[in-house]
Amino acid sequence: MTDDGRQDMANRPDAARELNGAGRLDELCASVLEEHGCPSVSVAVAEHGEVTLARAYGWADAEARVPATPGTPYALASVTKPFTATAVCLAADEKLLQLDAPVPLRPLTPEAGRAAPTVRQLMQHRGGLAAHYDFHYGDSDHHRIDADRYTQLHRRPGSAFEYANLGYRSLGQLLESAAGQSLDRFLQERVCGPLGLPGFHLGPSFPSGPAGASGSCATARPAAVRYTVDGRAYPPQCDSSHPGASLGWATASEVALFAQSCGSLLKPATAAAAVDALPVNSRLGYGLGWCVSSGDGPEIRSHGGSMGGVAVMTAFVPEQDLSVAVLTNSTGKGARDEVVQHMLRTLVPGFDPAQITPALPASSRTSGLPHGSWAGSIRTPDADLPAALRVLPDGRAELEVADERATGRTSASDSFDLLGVFPVQLPTADALLNSPLLALELRGGDGHLSGTARAFKDGDSKGLLGNLLSHRCELSPV
């Protein structure tokens, strides 16, 4: 172990020389951790089915001064999704389910003219469900969010991309019903076992008992403690209603090997379908659990993940048979992004960060709505809440919901005529839990406004990361 808490494992000389020569990986990681206040980063490179470099820097547990090592498991956040998608595709190959069969949502909420989304559409984030996340910290049984109440169609399935954890929740439930076993067990036995990744785990925390005591992990190792952007530790337990979207655990080496080899489990046609990506932006599409680059440069298949105390990413370059994984234990994405881009620039000729950035086009114009007033409701699971919106002449709008009023800046995009964030607290039990802000995404049509009102919290600089709750909103002119 070095003085800065870094440990590494024996590396094949080629990858290590390339990254530590012109790449200067050690120096870069040390400076990035300090610059971004990130406790640790674990990195791995796999080539042709073998891990050729695996290193860790900083502290897995900053308070106890436990160094991160290449064997330290990290929470994966949304990098869990490619694991779940691979399991679903494998189940399709075994005829346990069909990719183009409709998925009855829980609860089933049929709407006029809207068929149920298919398995494929849910994996592509085109199932018509809205963005959602809920996290419950510690082992308390206090109020928990019932995600069934948010599993409702906000648009026609197949019509548009919207990143939806609830879709992967439904996929996990479908797979468990079809396979007759838990998603965690299916991933252990049918995906990670055959790929030689015995340490993968799905759950609210990484098992800390004797090896094998949990019935799911082949080894028992202390996992990286998760930290807020200002260095406060999250509780070890973080549960969620969408485990198949967010609650994976693994080492960087296991993630890199998975990214490179998961397609080998599938029939050729299914493996090809997994990377047949519909466009998200001009450089990137989303397939069945993978972002896939397009345009100039080598094809890169990637996925990132972030939640409270987690920022991670993996990327696979098929033409080089090379994959990388970068895992950090901080909510801030700065350290992750710098290390990922440094490694790919060093190892992949022609790499462009846009090839792994699934951002939607930024809002680039002011609201096109005329100055005036609208009134209607926000449909929450508890009740329809009265809402009033007044568009002001200076790029702002005033929003009133259930007797709480606030003003916010507004903009517009190609998809929405009004976008805005307001310091308005929805008075529902779920929103009061940890979602103090309200974002509006509204489009006009026939003189009316319709879209989504999202209760959320902006980061974790105070307290812990909150929940994102989407509600339909409909307003008429007054």
Quote the pLDDT of residue 8: 46
Greater confidence, 368 or 144?
A: 144
Do 102 and 238 fall into the same domain? yes
Q: Using only the alpha carbons of the chain, give its radius of gyration.
A: 22
Q: Could you count the other beta carbons within 10 Å of the beta carbon of residue 210?
A: 8
Separation CA 470–CA 154 (nearest Å)? 9
Please name the amino acid found at residue 146: D
HSE (CB half, 13 Å, CA atoms) of 48?
2
How does DSSP assign 122-165, residue by residue? HHTT-SSPPP-B--EESS--S----GGGG---SS-TTS-----H
Do 343 and 412 fall into the same domain? no
pLDDT at 218 > cutoff 70: no
Cα-Cα-Cα-Cα torsion 44, 45, 51, 56, nearest 10 degrees, comes to -20
Specify if 272 maps to a domain: yes
DSSP 222: P
Do 191 and 129 fall into the same domain? yes
Quote the pLDDT of residue 23: 64
Quote the pLDDT of residue 374: 96
Q: Are 369 and 383 in contact (CB under 8 A)?
A: no
Q: Are 153 and 114 in contact (CB under 8 A)?
A: yes
Quote the pLDDT of residue 142: 74
pLDDT at 436 > cutoff 90: yes
Do 226 and 255 fall into the same domain? yes
Question: Among residues 329, 356, 383, which one ends one of the domains?
Answer: 356
Do 275 and 193 fall into the same domain? yes
Specify if 74 maps to a domain: no
Integer CA distances (angstroms), 212 to 208, 219, 236, 303, in order: 10, 6, 19, 29
CATH label of the domain that carries residue 241: 3.40.710.10
Integer CA distances (angstroms), 237 to 38, 63, 81, 299, 417, in order: 20, 18, 20, 37, 40
Separation CA 340–CA 44 (nearest Å)? 10
Quote the pLDDT of residue 337: 98
Prior bond to 110 cis, omega within 30?
Answer: no
Specify if 175 maps to a domain: yes
Q: Are 393 and 371 in contact (CB under 8 A)?
A: yes
Q: Which of 15-29, 357-371, 397-411, 444-458 has the lowest mean pLDDT?
A: 357-371
Crossing angle for the helix pair 334-347 and 25-36, to the nearest 10 degrees: 160
User: Is residue 272 classed as helix, strand or coil in its secondary structure?
Assistant: helix
What mean pLDDT do residues 112-136 have? 91
Confidence band, pLDDT 50/70/90 cuts, at residue 240: very high
Token couple for 95: 């005829």
Separation CA 326–CA 330 (nearest Å)? 12
Do 398 and 345 fall into the same domain? no
Separation CA 169–CA 156 (nearest Å)? 19
Token couple for 69: 């090592």
Greater confidence, 1 or 446?
A: 446
Specify if 24 maps to a domain: no
Do 346 and 377 fall into the same domain? no
CATH label of the domain that carries residue 461: 2.40.128
Quote the pLDDT of residue 7: 47
Q: Are 466 and 435 in contact (CB under 8 A)?
A: yes
pLDDT at 9 > cutoff 50: no
Greater confidence, 475 or 358?
A: 475
Q: Give the CA angle between residues 247, 187, 245 to the nearest 5°.
A: 30
Range of the domain at 438: 372-477
Average pLDDT taken over every residue of the chain: 91
pLDDT at 2 > cutoff 50: no
Chain-centre distance for alpha carbon 262: 19
Quote the pLDDT of residue 59: 98
Specify if 73 maps to a domain: no
Quote the pLDDT of residue 10: 45
Q: What's the pLDDT tens digit per position in 403-424?
A: 899 999 999 988 899 999 999 9
User: Is residue 67 classed as helix, strand or coil in its secondary structure?
Assistant: strand
Token couple for 284: 């990137």
Question: Among residues 324, 356, 388, which one ends one of the domains?
Answer: 356
DSSP 354: G
Specify if 12 maps to a domain: no
Specify if 11 maps to a domain: no
Confidence band, pLDDT 50/70/90 cuts, at residue 111: low
Separation CA 211–CA 62 (nearest Å)? 24
Separation CA 244–CA 186 (nearest Å)? 11
Quote the pLDDT of residue 104: 84
Do 213 and 252 fall into the same domain? yes
Do 220 and 180 fall into the same domain? yes
Separation CA 370–CA 373 (nearest Å)? 9
Q: Could you count the other beta carbons within 10 Å of the beta carbon of residue 115?
A: 14
Do 285 and 150 fall into the same domain? yes
HSE (CB half, 13 Å, CA atoms) of 129?
36
Chain-centre distance for alpha carbon 40: 20
Do 94 and 197 fall into the same domain? yes
Specify if 47 maps to a domain: no
Do 186 and 279 fall into the same domain? yes
Name the nearest CA neighbour of 376 among 439, 449, 299, 327. 449
Quote the pLDDT of residue 369: 79
Q: How many domains does the chain have?
A: 2
Q: Give the CA angle between residues 259, 261, 267 to the nearest 5°.
A: 120
pLDDT at 4 > cutoff 50: no
Burial readout 296-313 (b: 16 or more C-beta within 10 A, e: otherwise): ebbebbbbbbbbbbbbbb
Q: What's the pLDDT tens digit per position in 155-196?
A: 999 999 999 999 999 999 999 999 999 999 999 999 999 999
Give the burial class of 96: count Cβ atoms within 10 A of its Cβ; 0-12 exposed, 13-18 middle, 19 or more buried: middle
pLDDT at 375 > cutoff 50: yes
